[in-house]
Amino acid sequence: MTTALSIDNMLVLYEDFAALNHVSLDVAQGESFGIVGESGSGKSTLLRAITGLAGFQEGSLTVNGRSYGGRQRDKEFYRTVQMVFQDPYGSLHPRQTVDRLLLEPLIIHGFDNVDARIARALDEVGLGSGFRFRYSHQLSGGQRQRVAIARALIVEPTIMLLDEPTSALDASIQAEILNLLEQARRDRDLTFVMVSHDLGVISHMCERLAVMKTGEVVETVPVEALVKREFSAEYTRQLLVASEGFRRD
Ligand SMILES: Nc1ncnc2c1ncn2[C@@H]1O[C@H](COP(=O)(O)OP(=O)(O)OP(=O)(O)O)[C@@H](O)[C@H]1O
């Protein structure tokens, strides 16, 4: 097993509050790994600490064999690790065309054949070239999230960090976006780290998951454990009961 991402004993402090309290986890290359937990448990902080949006004070982070500290990341990291956020309205500049939004990362990372890459990326996310010169403010939430995914995929990442990528979307659109992500993962052998409060989404998309509570990982289990209810923490059971999405499934 090759490890794509390894976090060891990570501590993230806001003033003297530990948003991440000595968290450790390993994600294998090609794995789809879920992170669940109640609001405020530290899920987003974990993704932010990986990307350097939040600094960590103790512990270590290794991504694709390279060690990173604090907030500093190198260009290779910013290409190979891509993040998709919950809110497709906030994550895309509304006054830029789709073309511009997709061109920018290609220029930053020095890719050639930009026209062909943009056309291919739009096809991959099911939008097609007709969307190329539309402005993002003219798009629906689902279409925007497709553009956000295209923008992430276009620089050929190996790891995708997904922070509630469908929770701002209508239920019918959610399934389409999840299927799109799953297809991209299979086609490109991507590693996913996906945060969701919805255990139904996690059980559909992930192979393993970490359960977080008050900044700590309570347990890490294979996704089948949720279905068979084979977990050790009472908190995981409570979370399972509380998750409407899981019961819906
Ligand atoms: N910039 C910040 N400054 C101070 N405290 C913060 C900051 N960002 C997050 N926190 C606190 O850290 C804790 C973890 O927040 P985080 O956003 O990681 O939780 P979460 O599990 O992602 O929650 P949600 O599901 O509601 O998004 C919370 O108590 C939050 O109030």
Q: What is the ipTM of this complex?
A: 0.96
Atom from ligand 1 closest to the CA of residue 46? 18
* 66 CA from centroid of ligand 1 (Å): 27
- Ligand 1 residue neighbourhood (C-beta within 6 Å): 14, 19, 37, 39-45, 197
Task: Look up the CATH number of the domain holding residue 234.
Answer: 3.40.50.300
Q: Write the DSSP string, 107-170.
A: HHTT-S-HHHHHHHHHHHTT--GGGTTSBGGGS-HHHHHHHHHHHHHTT--SEEEEESTTTTS-
**How many independent structural domains does the chain possess?**
1
CA of 84 to the centre of ligand 1 (A): 18
60 and 129 Cβ atoms separated by less than 8 Å: no
Q: Whose CA is nearest to atom 17 of ligand 1?
A: 44
pLDDT by position in tens, the chain (length 249): 799 999 999 999 999 999 999 999 999 999 999 999 999 999 999 999 999 999 999 999 999 999 999 898 999 999 999 999 988 777 788 789 999 999 999 999 999 999 999 999 999 999 999 999 999 889 999 999 999 999 999 999 999 999 999 988 888 899 999 999 999 999 999 999 999 988 889 999 999 999 999 999 999 999 998 888 888 888 888 888 877 545 544
Contact 133, 84 (CB under 8 A): no
Distance in angstroms (rounded) separating the CA atoms of residues 57 and 36: 23
Task: Tell me the residue range of the domain where 98 lies.
Answer: 3-248
CA–CA separation, 214 and 88 (whole Å): 27
CB 205 within 8 A of CB 216: no
| Torsion over CA: 25, 28, 30, 31 (sign) | negative
Rounded CA separation 244/12 (Å): 30
